[in-house]
Structure 1
Amino acid sequence: MHHPRAVVIGAGIGGLTAAAALHRRGWSVTVLERAATLEPVGAGISLAPNAQRALDTLGLGDDIRALAAWQGDGGLRTPGGRWLSRTDSAAMAVRFGGPMVLLHRATLVDLLVSRLPEGRVRTGTAAQLADPGTPGRPALVSTGDGVLEAELVIAADGVHSDIRHTLFPRHPGPEYAGFTAWRMVIPAPERAFAPHETWGRGRLWGTQPLKDGRVYVYAGAVTPPDGRAPDDERAELIRLFGDWHRPVPEILAAVAPHDILRHDIRQMTHPLPAYHRGRVALLGDAAHAMAPTMGQGGNQAIEDAVVLAHHLAPDSADPSACLAAYTADRLPRTMDVVRRSDRAARMITLTGGAAVALRNTALIAVGRLLPHLALRAFDGIADWRPPEPAYPSGAGAGTHAVAHRSRHARPDGGTDQEAL
């Protein structure tokens, strides 16, 4: 039996999900990763119900749901500790049919790799697109070991994608979003805390528990691009956040400078003309880099991968029509999420004292009148479902998600509890 060949360039979350989904559809998949290993450096990822339902198609949704650590209250705070708004994990699960799950990226990578045959991921392998292919000619990928032919190439090579530039050289590419982010995963503080995100003047801090007892911490600040701390990033964070409410000082006292990741946030608010050309499909940050302010970057990459595999039958000798359908499905949705993330970033990173005071006052007032208002920002995002047939026969995760949907969702997209 002939298995069409697919080459995935980039072994991040989107690339590995695409590889696993295509393998499940009968494709012979090779993943090429420039880095020497698949060990993601200390960072977490938030998986909303939309990504969990996408992972149901790989039989991984329930594995992810079992890692949910957020229980009870959480919400938005000021640097002094005052609550701007509150919500709880149960409200999220009821409104969108599943919990919000934070986990270490390494955990998700291991789960995705487990869905691939041994040897399909080649690390330490830089790759370039030599020819995007045509309906009558395969695509060509150049590596240090030679040239690979493929019926399909998936470019999952990140925000600075070389393949995107090759396919669409006139596109301006990603732009600086105006702020820099720091991330770390550390042991939990001794004293318990409620999960929170804290908004200051041009600064953001988040402290979120993981199931394994550690804490995922992220921070952001309005800074010029390409900056670095004059001493180390821990000292920089102490200058920016050292006097904020607990557990921020405790976390900064415990973290080692080398455990802190720093990177500028870049986004693509100007859409590509398409997410494909020839036999090449772009997905994830390569197609639609977005600000992390709604936590949807990895989630949208996972959606991309599942929708792409849905359109690509194993007998697709010429995937051109399939890739056009992929673009038609994904470009409008992902650009909507890019724009919504950009609007959220602008609100979070306000720097003027009057503007910040007005924002905080509005959040407090509206939160009292309409509890769980913050969840409504995810309407149309977290309630997304994979294209049918969504769940393979016999997959326990799919059965769970369908049952959950039947309890909570209505055809008009609302929920059983209108107060939410």
Structure 2
Amino acid sequence: AGVEVVTGTAVESLDPGDPAGAPAVVAGREADLVVGADGMHSRVRAALYPGREAVYSGFSSWRAIVPARFGDPTLRQYWGPRAEFGVMPVREDASYWYGYVALPERTTHDDELAAARARFADWAAPVREIIDATVPEALLRHDVHHLPGGLPRCFTGRVVMIGDAAHGFVPTMGQGAASALEDGLCVGLLVGRPVTQGADLRAALADFDRQRRPRTRALGRASLASARFGSHLGGGWRQTVRNAIVRRTPSSVALRGADSVMGWTPPTSALLDRRG
């Protein structure tokens, strides 16, 4: 109640304000807090952190949803030279797939589906089958960008940066949307809740930065490491050696690595702890 939702407003000007004084002003509107959640090519980031631009990863990704059930009940990934393919169910009667491949930036194809079919023509049968079940209208392809290292700090003035706008990863660990959801929750837990209970805004933003930035930087490094070992790896002997290492790695080791990513628990505010 009492909240005005305004859509379609371009961010052409931004004054971050001061947590201890002037409000932020974005697109001509004053705000006590601005959440920069406008994605990989963030206009908010461009205004506050000049030169911190997303860069091309060297890879592009086809994606589609097919109205049929393919593969396992969970995500199944296939790795090959400079490419990765994934399949997972999204409903009882639908499956999602992606094909992540090395391509020059801004490559165009007259027939994207034919290009995907040709790129994966010698891959495993389940890969070829789901591509063959795809209609051209269902297929998308986007170049993949990332923000190496993330931002040096998650806030400036009264503006807090989250998601791809703050720390865009390559998608090889599937943590882009997940980390953005974590960030959004933490804005509420570490900024919104303490400030409404009387905590200082600058201290709350600093606590958010202290608790979130180490995790998102670690996820960014892990995503790049996963890419170099998996989909970004070249062909020939590299594939043979990598596959041998994977076969000899105990599942318990892989699960421990997954737990370090998936086992996140929401933090508590240091400011509320001090207030008792």
1:180 is the counterpart of 2:60: yes
CA shift for structure 1 position 276: 0.4
Aligned Cα RMSD in Å? 2.1
* C-alpha distance in structure 2 between counterparts of 1:306 and 1:330, whole Å: 11
Q: Percent identity over the alignment? A: 38
Pairwise mapping of residues 247-262 of structure 1 onto structure 2 (< 5 A)?
Answer: 247-262=126-141
Which of the residues 200, 204, 207 maps onto 1:322? 204
1:334 is the counterpart of 2:213: no
* C-alpha distance in structure 2 between counterparts of 1:371 and 1:328, whole Å: 33
Indicate the SS of the match to 2:101.
strand
Q: Deviations over 1:351-380 (max 9, x none)?
A: 1311011111111222xxx13543333232
Runs of 4+ in 1 over 4 A off after TM superposition: 315-318
TM-score, with structure 1 as normaliser: 0.59
Q: Deviations over 1:202-224 (max 9, x none)?
A: 11111111234210101111111
Structure 1: segments with no counterpart, 5+ residues: 1-22, 31-119, 390-420
Pairwise mapping of residues 304-315 of structure 1 onto structure 2 (< 5 A)?
Answer: 304-312=183-191, 313-314=195-196
Contact 1:151/1:318 (<8 A) preserved: no
Q: Which residue of 2 aligns with 1:294?
A: 173
Pairwise mapping of residues 16-415 of structure 1 onto structure 2 (< 5 A)?
Answer: 120=5, 122-134=6-18, 135-142=20-27, 147-171=28-52, 173-189=53-69, 193-194=71-72, 195-229=75-109, 231-312=110-191, 313-314=195-196, 319-348=201-230, 349-366=232-249, 370-371=250-251, 373-388=253-268
2:11 maps to a residue whose letter is A
Distance change (3 Å), C-alpha of 1:127 and 1:233: same
Distance change (3 Å), C-alpha of 1:261 and 1:316: farther
Q: Deviations over 1:72-126 (max 9, x none)?
A: xxxxxxxxxxxxxxxxxxxxxxxxxxxxxxxxxxxxxxxxxxxxxxxx4x43333
Residues paired across the two proteins, number: 262
* C-alpha distance in structure 1 between counterparts of 2:257 and 2:233, whole Å: 18
Indicate the SS of the match to 2:265.
coil
Contact 1:151/1:319 (<8 A) preserved: no
* C-alpha distance in structure 2 between counterparts of 1:184 and 1:257, whole Å: 9
1:333 maps to a residue whose letter is R
* C-alpha distance in structure 2 between counterparts of 1:282 and 1:360, whole Å: 39
Contact 1:285/1:301 (<8 A) preserved: yes
* C-alpha distance in structure 2 between counterparts of 1:362 and 1:329, whole Å: 34
TM-score, with structure 2 as normaliser: 0.87
* C-alpha distance in structure 1 between counterparts of 2:47 and 2:23, whole Å: 17
CA shift for structure 1 position 129: 4.2
Distance change (3 Å), C-alpha of 1:127 and 1:360: same
* C-alpha distance in structure 1 between counterparts of 2:189 and 2:206, whole Å: 13
Contact 1:180/1:223 (<8 A) preserved: yes
Structure 2: segments with no counterpart, 5+ residues: 270-276
Indicate the SS of the match to 2:105.
coil
Contact 1:177/1:291 (<8 A) preserved: yes
Contact 1:238/1:252 (<8 A) preserved: yes
2:218 maps to a residue whose letter is D
* C-alpha distance in structure 2 between counterparts of 1:274 and 1:388, whole Å: 20
Distance change (3 Å), C-alpha of 1:316 and 1:129: farther
Q: Which protein is richer in helix relative to its size?
A: 2
* C-alpha distance in structure 2 between counterparts of 1:296 and 1:289, whole Å: 9
Indicate the SS of the match to 2:96.
strand
* C-alpha distance in structure 2 between counterparts of 1:181 and 1:372, whole Å: 31
CA shift for structure 1 position 317: 8.5
Structure number with greater CO (CA < 8 Å, separation at least 6) is 1
Q: Deviations over 1:44-94 (max 9, x none)?
A: xxxxxxxxxxxxxxxxxxxxxxxxxxxxxxxxxxxxxxxxxxxxxxxxxxx
Indicate the SS of the match to 1:377.
helix
